[in-house]
Amino acid sequence: MQNLLDHTCKRILETVVFESNNNEFERMELFGKYGCDGSSGNMEYMQKPEENAVVDDSISETSVFGFYFSPLVITGFQMDSEEKITVWSNPKHSSTAYCRPIKFLYFKESKENILTEFRQTEREVTKLHPFQADVNGE
């Protein structure tokens, strides 16, 4: 998850045009949301394993469960004050345009599976560390 969020921050910041007097940020914070969704009853039309492939019958592509992250806003804090400045804001919070898949799992959506994966994702979130970014090549 760390690499995904680092890459997301980097790519978003590449789209931001910083004014020369406003890029003196002590730090920036990315706020986002994450969640999950399942899909079942998918067809396995014309799906054949490769020759000599080990086939695990417990894995089926008819049920897919995914975790996703959507960035909402990046705020910056200038060096001489604690005033929040919005650096970037997602124009469509519920759109899939900025939605990033965290992981896909091949099992049927159930309360037990959701709680297990949600707890695992929360553990990964607690292990995140700050991302260092260059703004305008500085």
> Would you say residue 49 lies in a domain?
no
**How much is the pTM?**
0.73
> Would you say residue 74 lies in a domain?
yes
Q: Which residue has the higher pLDDT, 126 or 136?
A: 126
Q: Which two tokens stand for residue 103?
A: 């992981």
> Would you say residue 65 lies in a domain?
yes
> Would you say residue 12 lies in a domain?
yes
Domain range enclosing 27 = 2-42+59-126
Domain count of the chain? Answer: 1
Give me the DSSP letters along 75-126. EEEETT---EEEEEE-S-TTSSSS-EEEEEE-S---HHHHHHHHHHHHHHHH
Digit-coded pLDDT (tens) for 1-23 = 899 999 999 999 888 877 655 55
Is residue 67 within 8 A of residue 36, CB to CB? The reply is yes
> Would you say residue 103 lies in a domain?
yes
Digit-coded pLDDT (tens) for 88-110 = 999 988 888 889 998 888 777 78
Mean pLDDT is lowest, of 65-69, 104-108, 133-137, for: 133-137
> Would you say residue 107 lies in a domain?
yes
> Would you say residue 13 lies in a domain?
yes
Q: Please report the pLDDT score of residue 5 as a whole number.
A: 92
> Would you say residue 136 lies in a domain?
no
